[in-house]
A and B are shown apart, each in its own frame.
Chain A
Amino acid sequence: MTESMTHPGGQTGQVPDALGRFGPFGGRYVPETLVAALDQLQAEYRSAVEDPLFHATLDELLRDFVGRPSPLYHAKRLSEHCGGAQIWLKREDVNHTGAHKINNTLGQALLTLRMGKQRVIAETGAGQHGVATATACAHFGLPCVVYMGEEDVRRQAPNVFNMKLMGAEVRPVTTGSRTLRDAINEAMRDWMSSVETTHYILGSVVGPHPFPMIVRDFQAVIGREARQQCLARLGRLPNSVVACVGGGSNAAGMFSAFIADGQVELVGVEAGGRSAKPGDHSASLTFGSPGVLHGSFSYVMQDEDGQTGQVHSLSAGLDYPGVGPEHSFWKDTGRVQYLPCGDEAALEAFDLVARNEGILSALETAHALAQAIQLAASRPKDQIILVCLSGRGDKDAAEIARLRQTAM
């Protein structure tokens, strides 16, 4: 029996099991102090899934507050430029707050209220999840603390300001690599001490069970809508679906609707960074190995002792040494193909989409766009490539300007 809200079905469906396993991946590797809270969250989620009022409330918020359904858009000039398959974009960038992250934070904020918890904490990398959490908390009147690596505070300054405008407290994290991984560590440590009154709104399909399942289910609206839109507009399913993968929440939400459609090729794009050398990229599925990080068993960048490896991406949201356990499962079953895309290729795709379509994509998303552009060029014109345009790039403008001055 699956506990999830959506039922992906098919050969890799009906996951996770009761212990949060996607095949061998997932589980719950956390201090005992957190186990009761995870059990409570799981129970609350199970009851919410059975409650029509919960679905009605969330659907209304997604429609009136977020602006869903997000459009499916034919990137005609970009497709012409590639000279091959047609590229269609699922426009999560036009959601309120500018990314897919809001789909999850509203769902989890509703769960926070159902559990009677009075405070919310979150981690953020690119700041999109931080902004989406601050937004959901402002909407519901919940106090909110966001942990963010000091390096990310620097490179995603506009989002930090936006969070503060909505009343959230942003706590810069100065330990370790001062990026997303350390922000998750600090959020977990806060939760260890505040677990009885605080809900941790984790922003990706990572962490201990039930987070990978809950976040995937709240993001599954992306894939459900996109699949219906393809059928309604194009009369058929896409040939390929492409999404970027850091922790992997937009990809999990997008792919989950297509998992059972065996003829649809699914491609996850990781951050290939500067090179294939350890420390130069964040491509855990491409270069990592199974291990334990942040409460879950999944592919991870690690050294021979199991210490988490240093990673790099110019995109803060992909700069993470682990990945969601369901992606590890999809990789090992062969259902999804995962490829790395380097910093330079992502920046080129960013430019190409900006100039040909008038869309500034997030640097995270630019990795998926780069892969889609390459794929489109090699495929016939009657093929359809669907890309999850997971977020908009306003937040990256200053960082891109900085990179251009120093490195370009």
Chain B
Amino acid sequence: MSAIDRLFETLRAEKRKALMPFITAGDPDLDFTADLLKQLDACGCSLCELGIPYSDPIADGPVIQASYTRALDRKTHLADIFEMTRRIAPTLSMPIVSMVSYAIVFRRGIASFVAEAQAAGIAGAIVPDLPVEEAEPLAEVCRREDFSLIQLVAPTTPRERAIRIAESSTGFLYYVSVAGITGERTRLPADLAENVAWLRARTSLPICIGFGISQPEHVRQLAPVADGLIVGSAIVRRIAQADRQPRDQVLAQIADYIRQLLGALES
């Protein structure tokens, strides 16, 4: 049972839902990322997705692309990210899951990546460019090492395929809300809640919804059907201010925003 499995077991027992921020490792630098992780944990986030910057993120919109570019321009290397989480993870109550391209996992070597990530206190991975047909070599290592491999279902996924993906995913299932790239949306698809509910009736795996979620209203609307909600670009857009404004101020602004979302989650 990974830290993510334990998290959702507790949340379900307490009838609570997870708020899961996404942040980029190394934007604007790893010291800020470490402070932000502590801040998000202190606010009461359930889990944090830590984006490993990648040079060619085809699933990401302009906000996260720019964030990855800033992190890579500062020479943020995987080893440095792991070094930072090794220090910080033991001080947090929320688990960290990495969002990482398969290009990076493969380059490290599958077994090495999983071993190093685990040693660095990371509980699992979301690999957005690794569909279920290609996932087995990584999934096998993840199962053996009890490292969660969170798979994704998209609005374009046929229903029988969605069930197959749910069966092979561990930790939770990432439900992509819109056919498109990451980024804030004012409105989410009308049939989203219905589609998630359909899948929920067919898997015991926790389902978390991501892509496009940015407003307290989205959170209120989707919390009843999901186990958790993922917010990325809306936070990363605020992180982008950290180069221009005092860092304490940026951390405080993000904390305010997170509290608004948490308030909506509990209402």
Contact = CB atoms under 8 A, between A and B. Distances in A.
Given A29-B102, A193-B180, A35 B59 contact: no
B91 to A, nearest CB: 26
Given A36-B156, A307-B72, 8 more contacts: A30-B129, A35-B131, A188-B58, A189-B60, A291-B107, A292-B101, A305-B78, A307-B55
A173 to B, nearest CB: 11
Nearest to A34: B156
A185 interface: yes
B56 A192 contact: no
Interface in B50-104: 54-61, 65, 69, 72, 77-78, 101-104
B101 A306 contact: yes
A134 to B, nearest CB: 23
Given A28-B134, A35-B131, A195-B156, A308 B180 contact: no
Given A36-B156, A306-B104, A308-B55, A31 B134 contact: no
B56 A32 contact: no
Interface of B: 54-61, 65, 69, 72, 77-78, 101-108, 128-131, 133-134, 151-158, 161, 165, 176, 178-181
Most buried by B among A37, A193, A293, A307: A307
22 contacts: A19-B133, A29-B129, A30-B131, A32-B152, A32-B154, A32-B156, A32-B176, A33-B156, A35-B131, A175-B65, A185-B57, A189-B60, A189-B181, A192-B58, A196-B156, A291-B103, A291-B106, A292-B101, A292-B129, A297-B106, A305-B77, A306-B103
Contact of B179 (A196, A297, A302): A196
Contacts of B156: 32-37, 195-196
Contacts of A34: 156
B58 A308 contact: no
Interface residues of A, number: 34
Contact of B181 (A29, A192, A292, A297): A192
Nearest to A27: B134
A294 B54 CA distance: 12
A304 interface: yes
A199 interface: no
A238 to B, nearest CB: 38
Contacts of B133: 19, 28
A209 to B, nearest CB: 10
B56 A294 contact: yes
Contacts of A29: 102-103, 129-131, 134
B56 A193 contact: no
Interface of A: 19, 27-37, 175-176, 181, 185, 188-189, 192-193, 195-196, 291-295, 297, 302, 304-308
A199 to B, nearest CB: 14
Contact of A36 (B65, B102, B105, B158): B158
Nearest to B79: A305
A192 B65 CA distance: 15
Contacts of A302: 103, 107
Contacts of A19: 133-134
Contacts of A27: 134
A4 B106 CA distance: 28
Contacts of B106: 291-292, 297, 306
Contacts of B151: 32
Contact of B131 (A28, A192, A292): A28
A211 to B, nearest CB: 14
A276 B128 CA distance: 33
A37 B158 CA distance: 11
A305 B65 contact: no
A195 B179 contact: yes
A34 B58 CA distance: 11
Contacts of B129: 29-31, 292, 295
A188 B57 CA distance: 10
A192 B59 contact: yes
Contacts of A35: 131, 154, 156-157, 161
